[in-house]
Amino acid sequence: MLCSSPRGASPILEDVDDATGVIVGPDGLARPAWASVDPLLRDYYDTEWGLPVRDERGLFERLSLEGFQAGLSWATILRKRPALRAAFDGFDPDVVAGYDDHDLARLLADPGIVRNRAKILAVVGNARATVALRDDPEVEGGLPGLVWSFQPATTPRPSTFAEIPTTSAESIALAAALKAKGFRFVGPTTMFALMEAAGLVDTHLVGSHRRGSSGVWPREDHPAHPAPPA
């Protein structure tokens, strides 16, 4: 069966259980195909993906990485993440917001990152928009407050890859809200990927060992992790 890793990633050919959509690894843990082969992706899936990110710098980094990922595989971005963090001063919004033409030239010459001028300029512009949100009377809680205000009332419960959505009403609304505040590379699909990665929705397959593990959604909503008896 042909399965795909996170948004835009390269397809991986694996023997996937059609009933659960997952592969049980040598450690006995069930994971989706994209997280079952590459050790880097497996560790990311097990320890980061889908856990709640509520701090400004963390969300700014996730927003930036999702923008860089557009048109590329997530594995590529994950491998470049250390270089991206170094190049963008740990994705500190205050520092990145102050970047000038010399920084742009430095970044465009850095072989360790994604040297896409439009994406780099978007990160700088998004840093400035992030800083501006702190004092925006229409937004409570800055970037984290704005992003988390679009957490949906319910989360998907996919049993197979085909059941995992790529957008939602909330991701469309979040994209529009961010664009209205000056953010770029924040389309509905990219924002749904952000919502998945940052824990606003749980799109772990029902058969995965990570299903219902974020603490954001009640565990009784997740068949893979039934609530303990009273």
- Active-site positions read 44, 66, 74
Tokens of 48: 């980061």
In this structure, what is the dihedral angle of CA atoms 25, 12, 171, 88, given to the nearest 10 degrees?
90
Nearest CA among 117, 174, 113 for reference residue 143: 174
Q: By three-state DSSP, how is residue 22 classified?
A: strand
User: Which residues, listed in sequence order, are joined to residue 13 by a DSSP beta bridge?
Assistant: 2
Taking a C-beta distance cutoff of 8 angstroms, is the pair 224, 76 a contact?
A: no
What lies within 8 Å, CB to CB, of 72 at 6+ separation is: 8, 114
Give the Cα separation of 228 and 214 in Å (integer).
17
Tokens of 8: 């835009």
